[in-house]
Amino acid sequence: MLRVLYSRYWPLLAKLTPLAVFVLYMAAVLLVGQYLTLANPYSRYALAWVVVQSSTLFLVTGGLLVNKWIGVRLAAQRQLRADRIAEQMVGFALRNQPEDGLLRYAQRYPAEFLRVWEGSLTTLKGSARERVLALLPRTHLDQHLQAKVVGSDPGRAVWAISLLRELHQVGSLETTEEALQHPAETVRASACFALAAHGSELQQEKVFALLPTLPFWQRIVLFQQIQDSPALEKYLALTFRSPDRTVVLAALEFVLSRQRIQPVGSPGELAVSPDLEVRIKFFKALPLLATAEDPASLAAIGLADVDWRVRAMAARACGLLHLSSLTATLAARLSISEQAAETGHIARALASLGGESLLRLRSFANSDNDMTRAVTVEVLQRALLTPGGSR
């Protein structure tokens, strides 16, 4: 069934399945109609319809109720076992009690054991957590999880990857690497996340190479998982000089997503890139780039850009980097800006620079331009009322 879900025929099958079931249903109606004795065929088949429909609903709802009843009871039993395991786990982790009981539970009830083990990792810290982590290989359940990683059920594969990534074992990471070829996109994505976080330098490089091709949502998650490493430094140094815009954009997104200052060499030529999106993202990321070039001269290039969105981001960078030397340029731009968003960014930058810049901003509160005046008043009010509000 799961293989069908990933096959290329699935979209067609998904469309045909409801129709096929409906055809079967109609066949059942015709069949039941043959056995009814009403003279009027219209009434006969209508009644047959009602009979088939009622029986189907009766069987389905009956089945569901029984299934739910059994499910609830089984869940209660599982919970009871999990509670017992959790009790022993606490003793083992905090009071250093023997692990024999836990190993027995792991053999008999692997699902419940793994649930408790996973929960313990999120609640425990320090040496207690380390003890619990080291327990899993002794239960041999890591091998059981490795089998799930490459199994056909994507839900279990994702779950297994998320547990194995905690172990940081070479074997587990190799299996996780195999999951990069899994037919389910969610599994491939989870494997990427795990390798980015805990993989070897080679495995991380593999993930970096995949970065520009990954969908945006996967990149968002992946960026948060990547650990600082020599592989990352190498990747960033190369990507900012790449001629491929998707590679450059992915690297800029990475910097934006990390919200930490990143050493990136000399990416100054991105400030004059012919690609608008690259320029916008570059100036948005500028406060986070530890560049060899002077940020003030880069920001000045941005403030002179032809597109207001680039200018707005450059102004924002001026505020965040406290580039007071650009006060006059910012004020000049504020007086001619026609876009409310750009005006807002320039005004907020001037407000956050304080001192002379704030005084320059105040003069715009009496501007003849309605929009400039209104935006300035808003920014000044926010700066006065809320600490850090100018941002």
Is residue 381 a contact residue for other proteins (CB under 8 A)? yes
- Tell me which of 12, 30, 57, 209 binds other proteins, using CB under 8 A: 57
Query: Where does this chain touch other proteins (CB under 8 A) — which range of 17-25, 131-139, 263-271, 303-311?
Result: 17-25
Q: Does 9 bind other proteins (CB under 8 A)?
A: no
CA nearest 215: which of 205, 226, 223, 225?
223
Name the segment binding other proteins (CB under 8 A); options: 19-27, 92-100, 101-109, 226-234. 19-27
Rounded Cα distance between 117 and 111, Å, is 10
According to CB under 8 A, which one of 7, 181, 297, 386 is a site residue for other proteins? 386
- Can residue 193 be called a binding residue for other proteins (CB under 8 A)? yes
On the 0-12 / 13-18 / 19+ scale of CB atoms within 10 A, 342 is buried
Q: Does residue 253 belong to the site contacting other proteins (CB under 8 A)?
A: yes
168 contributes a contact to other proteins by CB under 8 A: no
By CB under 8 A, residue 219 contacts other proteins: yes
Those residues whose C-beta lies under 8 Å from the C-beta of residue 106, and which sit 6 or more positions away, are 113, 139, 141
User: What share of residues in the chain are helix, strand, coil (percent, to 5)?
Assistant: 80, 0, 20
Nearer to other proteins, 210 or 301 (CB): 210
Binding range to other proteins, per CB under 8 A, among 128-136, 267-275, 351-359, 369-377: 369-377
Contacting residue, 46, 133, 150, 332, with other proteins by CB under 8 A = 46
CA-based nearest residue to 94, from 133, 131, 138, 136? 131
Q: Which tokens is 87 given? A: 């009790």
Stretch touching other proteins by CB under 8 A, among 105-113, 204-212, 231-239, 255-263 = 255-263
Query: For other proteins, which stretch binds (CB under 8 A), given 158-166, 272-280, 298-306, 355-363?
Result: 158-166
- Distance in angstroms (rounded) separating the CA atoms of residues 273 and 282: 9
In angstroms, the CA 215 to CA 364 distance is 44
From the list 310, 303, 313, the residue with the least C-alpha distance to 275 is 310
Question: Does the protein bind other proteins through residue 37 (CB under 8 A)?
Answer: no
The span from the CA of 256 to the CA of 286, in Å, is: 9
> Rounded CA gap, 150 and 362, in Å?
63
Residues that bind other proteins (CB under 8 A): 2, 5, 14-15, 17-19, 21-22, 25, 40, 42-43, 46-47, 49-50, 53-54, 57, 60-61, 64-65, 68-69, 72, 153-155, 158, 161-162, 184-186, 189-190, 193, 215-217, 219-221, 223-225, 253, 256-257, 259, 340, 344, 371, 374-375, 377-378, 381-382, 385-386
